[in-house]
Every structure is written in C-alpha cells, then in structure tokens.
Amino acid sequence: MKKRKLNGLEVSAIGYGCMGLSMGYGTAPDKDDAIRLMHRAHDLGCTFFDTAELYGMGANEQLVGEAVLDIRDKVVIATKFLLTEKGSEYNTPGRLMQELRSRLENSLKRLGTDHVELYYQHRVNKDIPVEDMAYCMGELIREGKILGWGQSQATAEEIRRAHTVTPLTAIQSEYSIMERRFENDVLPVCEELGIGFVPFSPLANGFLSGKVNPEVQYTGMDARRVITRFDKDNMIANQPLLEVIRQVAADKHATPAQISLAWMLHKSDCIVPIPGSRNAARIEENLGAAAITLTAAEYTAMEDELAKIEIHGNRTDEDIAKLRTLK
C-alpha cells in the first residue's frame, strides 16, 4: 500500500470509512463480522480508519476501538464531533473548550485510547467563529489528546481563517466523479496550504462501482432512499457516466470502482479517499485502486469525456435528514 501525508500525518493512500458498519445502508453486519472486515482492510495495508460520535450514537467508535485494540500503534484513527446548537451556547472560548473536551473524552473512552490522530468538526457551525474552534483545537493538540484537526464540508474562506489560528491537518468533504463542487476553490486551497483532502463517498455511495441496479428499491434506514442520484430515472440518466468509466476500466484491466478512486488519486497528492464497504471482496477491490496509475494522457482523455456528461441527482445533508421521517 502506498502512503500519503495529510499535512505531515502519514496514512495509507486509501483509508476505510467505517460508518456503514453501524448505520446508513440498511442492516449492519454483526460485531464479529465488522471487526473481521476492519482487520482484513489492515492486512491489505490500510492504516487509516474513519469514524464519528454520530455513527450509531457512539457504537461505531466502540467498534473501531475494539477492532484496532491490538494494532493501535499501527493505525491512524479519525473521529468527528458535531455541534448543532446556536453559537450563543458557546459564547466564550471557555464554554466551547469545556464542551469540546467533554465530547473528545467521551470519544476516547469509546475508542479505548488516550488520543486520536485526527479530530474533525463534523460540519462547520455557522454560529461559532472558526477562529474560536481553531483555538480550542490547538489547545487539545498541545494537551496531546489529538495530533491534528480538520473540518468537514468547509468553504475555502473558513479553511483559510481557521488555518491561520491552528493549522488544519485535513478537510473531509464529499468528493467524487459525480460530486465535484469543491474542485475549483477548496481543493486548490488545500494544495496551497499543505492540508490533506479526504473525500467521503468517493464512490458516490456505491453508484460508481457500476454494480447498482436501477430496479432495486431500498427500505428501512438506508440512505439511498433519500439520495436523489439513486432515483430510478436519475440512475438511468447517469448510465453514460458509467460507460466512460467502464471503458477506462476495461483498458486498464481494472474495475469501475478502482478507476473512480485512481482518478482522484491522480488529481492531487493531497487526496486520501475513504471508501466504505461491508463486503471483504469490495474492500480488497477498493484498496487495490492504490496500485492503479493513470497516465497523464489517460487522465486527460477521461476528463475530456467526463466534461461532456451531465450528472443527475446528488446527495445533500437536508435529504439525508429526511430519512428519519420515513417509515
């Protein structure tokens, strides 16, 4: 497995998003199976495991902690906190610091560790100055409780302002061939400042694997019920995109998922995608993308074809929130 650096923090070139082991895509695997999947990922060279306090209401952190207990010194753990309250709840740095320290201590307890390598603000709270957040993260770094920090779905301006106070390690935001909105502003800022960029949903929630059937109907607590790119009409309309990827995959003796990941690895050395899967063969496939290299000519030709294609549907936090109201 190749290595990359997120502002000095060394990780495998492809990480593992662990959310799906607890929630998001229907019935989760049992604990033993989930731990076996994480061990398999590590055996294949993955050293970067991503979780959050929100995933399974803490259950995912517990799961990750148990899975990496015996290899703790060989892996990088990233977790996240989410503050949704109004900024008036944290109107002093001391109050904000108190809340963050409490959140972090709870995460560390669930993870069974005394520190995490990377601590993300799960979404930027527009009511809390990013400078205040950055200052508090700097305090946690100085205490040794975290080694670095990051933001999720942040704007270029928010990144610059926060980075001035406490340098950011990484930005985790949605990014894939189907979702490229951060490509023109956020990604260049990350490259300029030496910040890592960690795409979540790098395979567009599995659509870019090319294995999703438009006729499938999702049920229960499955995010694909509310992600509009999985509407039947949109899936059919997006088939030309898959045809481009399938052709490149055939030429490279690879799979569409591998080409989708190799595409973003080629785009920038600061990118470290974190695909998630609950299938051992898919984990092997995804991590195997690190060994696939696109030439400059192949990449340019692929970009030329992608530029001709209109993407239908997307994934938004607002749509994901609707899942809680569905029967």
Q: Exactly one of 16, 55, 90, 175 is catalytic; name it.
A: 55
Amino acid at 163: H
Q: Which long-range contacts link 297-306 to residues 24+ away (Cβ below 8 Å)?
A: 298/248, 298/251, 298/252, 299/263, 299/266, 299/267, 302/244, 302/248, 302/263, 305/244, 306/177, 306/241, 306/244
Nearest to 285 by CA among 261, 252, 318: 261
Return d(Cα 89, Cα 99) in angstroms, integer: 10
Question: In which element (H, E) is residue 213 found?
Answer: none
What is the spatial distance between Cα 200 and Cα 18, in angstroms, rounded to a whole number? Answer: 11
55 annotated active-site: yes
Strands 48-50 and 196-200: unpaired
Q: Which residue(s) pair with 116 in the sheet? A: 146
Both tokens of 105, joined, read 């201590």
SS3 category, 25? strand
* Cβ contact 169:148 at 8 Å: yes
Cβ neighbors of 240 (< 8 A, separation 6 or more) are 309
Q: Which residues are catalytic?
A: 55
